[in-house]
Amino acid sequence: MGDIMSYDVVDITDKPFGGVSVVSGGDFRQILPVIRKGCKQDILASSINSSKLWRHCKVRTLTTNMSLRASTVRAEQDEIRKFVDLMLLIGDGIRSANESGEINVLIPDELLIKDSSDPLRSRVDFVYPDILKNMKISIFFSREGDTCSHTKRS
């Protein structure tokens, strides 16, 4: 923030961030603030869209799902789309919650990690199936990691 405010800008002290454009990205469903001993209402009241600054913000929405572009294989794209659609149903509140805000979600079998003898290893093998073969190749982790924002349906 110090770098942004160090610019010599004249006569815009009444504007948020001194009139400098600030770009922020994320999914509000995933980045809620942590309020110690706070209830749901306390958490929502502390989120950015409850801030006095919010009225000055312009919200832009991404429309291209970058996860789907990561693969050219039709079967993989279908699998990714199915998972993205499930996450959107949950995140958009289409799946109904009970009085306490809890949602029961049926996770498809192909997304379950069933080997519980070594849970950590099972998770690593699930996310990086070729890790032992490729761990000395530096580009492997940057290529395999999730580096894009997940967006709404395109």
The answer to whether residue 150 is domain-embedded is: no
What is the pLDDT at residue 144? 55
Residue 84: how many CB atoms within 10 A of its CB?
A: 18
The answer to whether residue 95 is domain-embedded is: yes
Report whether 151 contacts 61 (CB < 8 A): yes
The answer to whether residue 12 is domain-embedded is: yes
DSSP state letter for 33? P
The parent domain of residue 8 ranges over 2-56
Tell me which residues of the chain have a pLDDT lower than 70.
Answer: 1-13, 28-29, 93, 95-96, 140-154
pTM: 0.42
What is the pLDDT at residue 150? 46
What is the pLDDT at residue 111? 75
What is the pLDDT at residue 133? 83
Residues 7 and 20: their CA atoms lie apart, in Å, by 9
The answer to whether residue 92 is domain-embedded is: yes
Residue 24: how many CB atoms within 10 A of its CB?
A: 7
The answer to whether residue 131 is domain-embedded is: yes
Q: Are 103 and 117 members of one domain?
A: no
- Structural tokens at position 102: 């809890």
What is the pLDDT at residue 10? 53
**How many domains does the structure of the chain reveal?**
3
The answer to whether residue 154 is domain-embedded is: no
